[in-house]
A and B are shown apart, each in its own frame.
Chain A
Amino acid sequence: NAGVTQTPKFQVLKTGQSMTLQCAQDMNHEYMSWYRQDPGMGLRLIHYSVGAGITDQGEVPNGYNVSRSTTEDFPLRLLSAAPSQTSVYFCASSYSADRGYTFGSGTRLTVV
């Protein structure tokens, strides 16, 4: 099992550009989520999904879109990048809410 795979690992964007952060898991997990980690603020939930075709907003969803067309993939789209979106992004998946999440290795995004 590869676990949770995130690509790219690093990305620099210009303000106003759009991009998609990829997340794939091969553990047949129903639950998937996206977090951003900023210094001194812990991790904050952006969007989450409890199964294919089902997504919902987390704490900080503005400026981000997600979709879940398959169990394996949960891409995060930045619509129009802003410097405030400079952060480390983690994707995570779990079999259920009663299990711990498996985290990907993260994507370090810088918006200039």
Chain B
Amino acid sequence: ELKVEQNPLFLSMQEGKNYTIYCNYSTTSDRLYWYRQDPGKSLESLFVLLSNGAVKQEGRLMASLDTKARLSTLHITAAVHDLSATYFCVNQFYFGTGTSLTVIP
């Protein structure tokens, strides 16, 4: 049983478009983290969400947490090429399989 399920696994989107990555989790912990990883590189912490209804924004990325639905979303607004990377959601210490995002000019 997957503890953390992300979808989609692969996402190709045009510059300027909006999209949402979904993360469902099944543990009893409501700590939710989002990380970014560039190819061949380490991971960078993006957001930490600790309570129901938490919303955090940084640039074109916005993350939210619904603990009742055990769902977190990462919303991308007006995508740019620099956002191309793999995004992971993490619940407790369980990682999702990642969403590989490619932004096409």
Residues of chain A touching chain B, judged by Cβ–Cβ distance below 8 Å, are 33, 35, 40-45, 48, 58-59, 90, 92, 97-106
20 contacts between A and B (CB under 8 A): A42-B97, A43-B88, A43-B95, A90-B42, A90-B43, A92-B43, A97-B31, A98-B48, A98-B50, A100-B33, A100-B45, A100-B46, A100-B47, A101-B45, A103-B42, A103-B44, A104-B42, A105-B41, A105-B42, A106-B42
| Chain B residues packing against A (C-beta within 8 Å) | 4, 31, 33, 35, 41-48, 50, 88, 93-98
| B58, chain A: closest CB distance, angstroms | 12
Q: Is the CB of B98 within 8 A of A102?
A: no
User: Among the interface residues B31, B45, B88, B97, which one has the most CB atoms of the partner chain A within 10 A?
Assistant: B45
Q: How far is the CB of B4 from chain A (nearest CB, A)?
A: 8
User: How many Å lie between the Cα of A58 and that of B3 in the bound state?
Assistant: 13
Query: Which residues in A have their C-beta under 8 angstroms from that of B93?
Result: 33, 45, 48, 58-59
Query: From residue A92, how far is it (CB to closest CB) to chain B in Å?
Result: 8
Which of A35, A43, A97, A98 is packed against the most chain B CB atoms within 10 Å?
A: A43
Q: Which residues of A contact B43 (CB under 8 A)?
A: 43, 90, 92, 101, 103
Return chain A residues, CB-CB under 8 Å to B33: 100-101
Decide: B35 and A100 in contact? CB cutoff 8 A. yes
Known pairs A33-B93, A98-B48, A102-B45. 6 more at Cβ < 8 A?
A42-B96, A92-B43, A100-B48, A103-B35, A103-B44, A106-B42
A41 to B2, CA, bound (A): 11
Q: A33-B93, A42-B88, A43-B95 are in contact. Are A99 and B48 (CB under 8 A)?
A: yes
Nearest-Cβ distance from residue A8 to partner chain B, whole angstroms = 15
Task: Tell me the smallest distance from the CB of A6 to a CB of chain B, in Å.
Answer: 9
